[in-house]
Amino acid sequence: MFRLDGKIAIVTGAGSGIGLAIASTFAQNGARVFALDRDVKAAGAAVESIRAAGGAASALECDVAVAASVQSAFARIDSDRDAPRIDILVNNAGIAHIGTVENTSEEDLDRIYSVNVKGVFLCSQAAVRRMLTTGGGVILNLASIASLIGLTDRFAYSMSKGAVLTMTRSIAVDYVKRGIRCNCICPARVHTPFVDGYLRTAYPGREAEMFRQLSEYQPLGRMGTPEEVAALALYLCSDQASFITGQAYPIDGGVLAF
C-alpha cells in the first residue's frame, strides 16, 4: 500500500526539512522525484542522498516566487524523456515570519506573499495545465495549523497559510470532475534545521530552554518530525487516497483537540 511506482513527482523546497523528507519518502516508495529548490546545491545534495538509497531523482533550481524560474523548471521537466507527465506536485516551499499586524512591514508582507502564496499559485498553475493533458494528477500543499487557528505573532505567516488552505479547496472544486485531486497538510511545529537556526539566532545561550517551550506547545510534548509529515504526504498522494480531495489534514500533536 501507498506505493508510488511509476509516478512522476515534483517537490518544491526539497533541499531540506519537510521537503527533503517528502522527496526521500516518495523516492523510497517508487516515485521518480524532481527536487526543486532555490538553493540548487541543497537540491543536489538531496538528490545524491536519494540516489544513494536507491531512488530516482533529479535536482532543479527554482525560485517559486518568480514566474520565469517556475516556467523554466517545468520546461526542463517537460524535456526529460523519462518524465512523460506530472503525476504529483507537492507545494512545500515556504518561508516564515514573526510579528503582529503592528510590526509587520509592507516589505515583510510582500516577501511572505511572494513565496508562500504566489509560489503555490505559479507551481499549481503550471502543474494543472500539464495534468489536464495527461488524465489528471494530485496536488498537495503544505499549509499549517495557522490556517485553522490563531497563532500569536504570526500575522503575515498566518495570512499566507490561510491563502494556501483556500487555494487548496478552490483547485479541488474546480478540477474534481477532471481528474485532479488537491489537499493540504496542516502541521504544528516540526523540528527542522530551520527551527535550530532560528533558536541560535533569536535566543543565543537559551536554545535548550526555548526548544523545550516550543515542544511543550504541542500537548504530546514534542515537535513533529519531517518524516511523520512525509508519511502523511505519501498516503494523500497515493492511489489509496483517491477518494479524498479538498481536505485539510492537521498533524499537530493534539493542538486542535485541547
Catalytic residues: 157
Query: If you count DSSP H runs as helices and E runs as strands, how many of each does the chain have, helices first?
Result: 9, 7
Matching residue, cell 495527461: 134
H or E stretch at 60: strand 56-61
- The 8 Å CB, 24+ separation contacts for 92-95 are 92/11, 92/12, 92/13, 92/14, 92/18, 92/19, 92/22, 92/142, 93/12, 93/13, 93/19, 93/36, 93/37, 93/38, 93/64, 93/119, 94/13, 94/119, 94/142, 94/160
